[in-house]
Amino acid sequence: MGIRIVKLPDVGEGVAEAELVEWHVAIGQSVLEDQLLAAVMTDKATVEIPSPVAGTVLALGAEVGGVLAVGAELVRLEVAGEGDKEVAAAPREAARPEPAPSAAAMPSPAPAKSPALERAHVPEPPRPTTQGSLGPPRAPGEKPIASPAVRRRARDAGVDLRQVRGSGPAGRIGHEDLDAFLRGGAPAATISARVPKTDVDTVKVIGLRRRIAQKMADSKRRAAHFAYVEEVDVTALEDLRTALNAESRQDRPRLTLMPFLMQALVRAVADFPEMNALYDDEAETIERHGGVHIGIATQTPSGLMVPVVRHCETRGLWDMAAEVRRLAEAAREGRATRAELTGSTITITSLGPLGGIVTTPVINRPEVAIVGVNKEAVRPVWQGSQFVPRTMMNLSSSFDHRVIDGYVAARFIQRIKGLVEAPATLFIEE
Amino acid sequence: MADIAAKVLVVGGGPGGYVCAIRAGQLGLDVVLVEQGGLNGGLGGTCLNVGCIPSKAMIHAADAFHHAVRQAASAPFGLRVERPTIDLARTIEWKDGIVGRLTSGVGTLLKRHRVKIVHGHAGMLDGKTCRVETDTGPQVIRAEHVVLATGSEAAPLAALPFGGKVISSTEALSLHTVPERLAVIGAGYIGLELGTAFAKLGAKVTVIEAADRILPVYDAELARPVARRLQALRVDVLTRAKAVGLADEGGAVQVDQEGAPKCTVAADRILVATGRRARLAGFGLERLDLTMNGPFVHVDERCATSMRNVWAVGDLTGEPMLAHRAMAQGVVVAEVIAGHRRVFDGAVIPAVCFTDPEVVTVGLSPDEARRAGREVHVGTFPFQANGRALTLGAEEGFVRVTARADNHLVLGVAAVGAGVSELAGAFALALEMGATLEDIGGTIHAHPTLGEAFHEAALRGLGEALHV
């Protein structure tokens, strides 16, 4: 038997460290070659690390939430045969030129575990200790489990314990469950609504949530945010969109408002190159980018992600629509690669029908501008002699006032407004 | 004699009856208890007089003698004894002293709780009236509530009626000499406890059992260490065998054994220990016309019979015929009569065989749990790996924990081994409290004790045993 050290492979271009977000194995467990050992999170992508060999786990290199440098010991395995020779070959993944995890390399996204692994390492479920989280209801005919003291109190109080749900291990009914039932004086199903909840659930801020927290705080601390809100008449744009969608061609995705806005952004930044830029405040330089790489803020089960539609200046309307949809799905399913989640030069954030009237978006630093989309609504609009119903929508945008003046920002938004309100101008090549 | 009026009449002063009377007295009820006394017991019933307590005294004496004999022969840990002898008459005297202390203690307790004791034979006239034949004449007692606690008696065998050399456990506990050859009919706990004791006292014991192994109501795994010990004590065990009558003018038992020629077992005493039956006759039960449950009085969960305000506790109400069950029922009935809401709802009734080694069962065996449709985890820990067991020279046996596979709720605990009867309380507490394997595994058990085997068995059920 030999010892084989599995090191954290290079999980992406320029990534020096990664945060351990999940262990798929436990000490003492035997693993097969290619069995997933752990999930680590780099800048924004989660990467599953498979085992290079079969063996038995002797030690784990970090706790969940810990940060490991690339090349640091991830797992120590006991393997058949010579261990030492293998150690040299261990970080073979690091040798790959482009090891950035692709969808194919990650058959299992971080939140899902294979059933085999689930069985091999069953973590103790959190034990509910208060009324706040009741155990599952008993199967019909199953006897309630309670200590003699609880049974006696229940009997004295005239309570049939079969109606009381237990919060203890194996559904055991404790004094506190009986107290709660007696306070509620009602069937167990409704009692939780009346019981003061004293439980505090401490959730470790790890993984994506930690990244988001760091990035948001960093952006708010460093960028001098100012917000600018303007209303836009999208009646004509909605007419156009409806007409285009009515064609319903198989090869084209349905259009949302997003690709039109992206198109407007592409046209507007051509006139305002300072908006499509990255501000390195330490080097005190601004990189104005020729390519328009638009970040699309996307809600995923694990939190906010910003997949990037690259080179929008080269894309048509349907192309952008298809790419937005593809990236959003990949992000939601945890398949988005690091490349797909980085490199944006300007960002759009939209909550769709939940968009509210006004938002104050946080700039996706080191970018300098973010355009927020609020909800559409048909409103009466005064047109000289009368009110007419128009489909109106607000754009709430934030800019880094350190490098963008209010006057420039206002003109930029007015340019977008003009493009959107006369949608034909979006597509006129000058 | 003037009639006595009482709130509660308890018929029978055994563990069910006297505990019910004490508890009712504690609750301020006016209680009369009738006890007939006689060969099968006075206050304390079968348990104190001719059952649990005297048999344990005899088993202890036999064990001590047997150890002395072994030390005379081989001095296993260096202690040598020269030619030990036992004077069985003195042993019986000692045993009777213990019984006397306990039964008089029961009398004192009853008096302290103002229970009126009437000695004599009770006959129920109806559900509220009882006529007791006392030494000084008949006494009529009228009561609002009647608690029947008449207990049980050794069941006779038609082929071997009691009398002469054929005795029950009652007589076996008062023999003044050790019989040279003892035939024991029935390899249940009574037959084996007494058979083992007499073998240790020097009798040549033959056990005749109709089933295919000893302790047939226990699972085979638990019976095996006991069978090995019987063999070591040179007790002959005939299984699939029936005692069909006496032979050689009463000097032997005629035995029919499956697959073997008929034979006789010569015996100076023949102990019939094939079971006990509820005592239903002789106290006017027929006049109450209660609903029966086979050979027992039917009771509901409050121990109420089919007649209003007539209650029944103990062996009269069925299996398991155990003193601690009767006592628990007695408490329930007293509290119900006092107006509390109570039911007999114990999760488990532990059972102990004081064989060598002892056997304890609480709750379900693995097979019983599986038959009930449960997937189970079973954790077994041998006393061979328990330090305290080795220092006691008692490495035979094990503790076995059975738990649900899905939520690890402990369904049953069983143990075989010297002294494991003292673990019964811990086992029963675990089941009553609804313990899971993790609860037992997470309880620090004192070292070095036999109880550590319980801890380790639970850990083993979790796949986390440390010392095996």
Total count of domains within chain B: 3
Which chain B residue has its CA at the smallest distance from A152's CA? B342
Tell how strand A308-309 and strand A225-233 pair up.
unpaired
User: What pLDDT does residue A112 have?
Assistant: 41
- DSSP letters for B151-203: -EEEPPBTTB-SBTTEE-HHHHTT-SS--SEEEEE--SHHHHHHHHHHHHTT-
The pLDDT value given to residue A121: 45
pLDDT at B299: 97
Any B CB within 8 A of A123 CB = no
Higher pLDDT residue, A119 or B425? B425
DSSP B25-58: HHTT--EEEEE--STT-STTHHHHHHSHHHHHHH
Question: Do B462 and B379 form a contact (C-beta atoms < 8 A)?
Answer: yes
- Asked if B288 and B268 sit in the same domain, the reply is no
Residues B114 and B58 placed together within one structural domain of the fold: yes
Give the pLDDT of residue A352: 78
Whether B341 sits inside 8 A of A155 (CB atoms) is yes
Q: Do A155 and B433 touch (CB under 8 A)?
A: no
Mean pLDDT along residues B443-467: 96
Q: Span B224-247, mean pLDDT?
A: 96
Whether B19 and B135 map to the same domain: the answer is yes
Is B160 inside any structural domain? no
How many helices (DSSP H) and strands (DSSP E) are in chain B?
14, 24
- d(C-alpha B86, C-alpha B61), whole Å: 9
Same domain, yes or no: B111 and B214: no
CA distance linking residue B163 with residue B65, whole number of Å? 29
Show the domain range for B225: 166-274
Whether B332 is covered by a domain: the verdict is yes
Handedness of CA A143, A146, A148, A150 (dihedral sign): negative
B83 domain-assigned? yes
Verify whether the Cβ–Cβ distance A169 to B340 is below 8 Å: no
Q: pTM for the whole thing? A: 0.61
Q: Is residue B352 part of a domain?
A: no
Give yes or no: residues B319 and B364 share one domain.
no
Whichever domain contains B440, its CATH number is 3.30.390.30
Q: How far apart are the first and last CA of chain B?
A: 70
More reliable by pLDDT, A44 or B8: B8
ipTM of the complex: 0.73
- Judged by a CB distance cut-off of 8 A, whether residue A139 touches chain B is no
| Interchain CB contact of A137 with B (< 8 Å) | no
Q: Which of B340, B342, B434 is facing A147, going by the closest CB pair?
A: B434
User: Which of A138, A147, A175, A177 would you mutate first to test chain B, the one with the most B CBs within 10 A?
Assistant: A147
List own/partner pairs for B391-397 with CB under 8 A and 24 or more apart.
Answer: B391/B448, B392/B418, B392/B419, B392/B450, B393/B76, B393/B77, B394/B357, B394/B418, B394/B419, B396/B225, B396/B228, B396/B229, B396/B357, B397/B225, B397/B357
Asked if residue B393 and residue B316 are part of one domain, the reply reads: no
Looking at the structure, do residues B231 and B91 belong to the same domain, yes or no? Answer: no
Q: Please indicate, yes or no, whether residues B107 and B199 belong to a single structural domain of this protein.
A: no
- Establish if B442 touches chain A: CB-CB under 8 angstroms: no
pLDDT of residue B166: 96
Q: Which residues of B106-135 are buried (b: 16+ CB within 10 A; e: fewer)?
A: bbebbeebebbbbbbbbbbeebbbbbbeee
Q: How many CB pairs under 8 A join A and B?
A: 34
Q: What is the pLDDT of residues B129-173, one digit of tens each?
A: 999 999 999 999 999 999 999 999 999 999 999 999 999 999 999
**B148 shares its domain with B290:** yes
User: B439 vs A169: CB contact, 8 Å cut-off?
Assistant: yes
Residue of B341, B375, B410 to mutate, interface with A, max A Cβ within 10 Å? B341
Both B230 and B376 in one domain: the answer is no
- Average pLDDT of the residues in B218-238: 97
Q: Indicate whether B118 and B197 sit together in one domain.
A: no
Q: Say if residues A146 and A163 touch (Cβ distance below 8 Å).
A: no
Residue A140: cis peptide before it, omega within 30 degrees of 0: no
* Predicted confidence (pLDDT) at residue B349 exceeds the cutoff of 90: yes
The answer to whether residue B323 is domain-embedded is yes
User: Which tokens in the block code for residue B94?
Assistant: 């000692």
Model pLDDT, residue A138? 73
**How far off is chain B from A166, nearest CA to CA, in Å?**
11
Tell me the pLDDT of chain A (430 aa) as tens digits: 788 888 888 776 667 788 888 888 888 888 888 888 888 887 656 777 888 888 889 888 888 888 888 888 888 888 887 764 544 444 444 444 444 444 444 444 444 444 444 444 444 444 433 344 455 667 777 888 999 889 988 988 888 898 888 888 888 999 889 988 888 754 444 444 456 677 788 888 888 888 889 999 999 999 999 999 999 999 999 999 999 888 877 778 889 999 999 999 999 999 999 999 999 999 999 999 999 999 999 888 888 999 999 999 999 999 999 999 999 999 888 888 888 889 999 999 988 788 899 999 999 999 999 999 999 999 999 988 999 999 999 999 999 999 999 999 999 999 999 999 999 999 887 6
Shortest CA gap B326–chain A (Å): 17
Cβ atoms within 10 Å of A157's Cβ, excluding its own: 11
pLDDT on residue A13: 61
User: In this predicted structure, what is the pLDDT of residue A43?
Assistant: 65
Length of chain B, please?
A: 468
* Residue A218: CA count within 13 A, CB half-sphere: 11
Here the CATH number for the domain that contains residue B292 is: 3.50.50.60
Residue B347 falls within a domain, yes or no?
no
pLDDT of residue A252: 81
Tokens of B404: 């649900």
Q: Is B436 a member of any domain?
A: yes
Distance from CA of A32 to the nearest CA of B (A): 22
Binary contact (B342, A155; C-beta < 8 A): yes
Pairing status of strand A225-233 against strand A387-400: antiparallel
Q: Mean pLDDT throughout B398-410?
A: 96
pLDDT for A353: 80
How far, in Å, CA of A257 to CA of A236, rounded? 12
B432 shares contact with chain A (CB less than 8 Å): yes
Q: Say whether both B437 and B414 belong to one domain.
A: yes
How distant is the Cα of A170 from the closest Cα of chain B, in angstroms?
A: 5
Domain boundary among B256, B274, B292: B274
Distance (Å) of CA A410 to CA A108, A229, A322, A396, B312:
46, 9, 31, 11, 93
In a domain, B343, yes or no: no
SS (H, E, C) chain A: CEEEEEECCCCCCCCCEEEEEEECCCCCCEECCCCEEEEEECCCCEEEEECCCCEEEEEECCCCCCEEECCCEEEEEEECCCCHHHHHHCCHHHHCCCCCCCCCCCCCCCCCCCHHHHHHCCCCCCCCCCCCCCCCCCCCCCCCCECHHHHHHHHHHCCCHHHCCCCCHHHCECHHHHHHHHHHCCCHHHHCCCCCCCCCCCCCCCHHHHHHHHHHHHHHHHCCEEEEEEEEECHHHHHHHHHHHHHCCCCCCCCCHHHHHHHHHHHHHHHCHHHCEEEECCCCEEEECCCCCEEECEEECCEEECCEECCHHHCCHHHHHHHHHHHHHHHHCCCCCCHHHCCCCEEEEECHHHCCCCCCCCCCCCECEEEEEEEEEEEEEECCCCEEEEEEEEEEEEEECCCCCHHHHHHHHHHHHHHHHCHHHHHCCC
A405 catalytic? Reply is yes
Count CA within 13 A, CB hemisphere, residue A259. Answer: 22
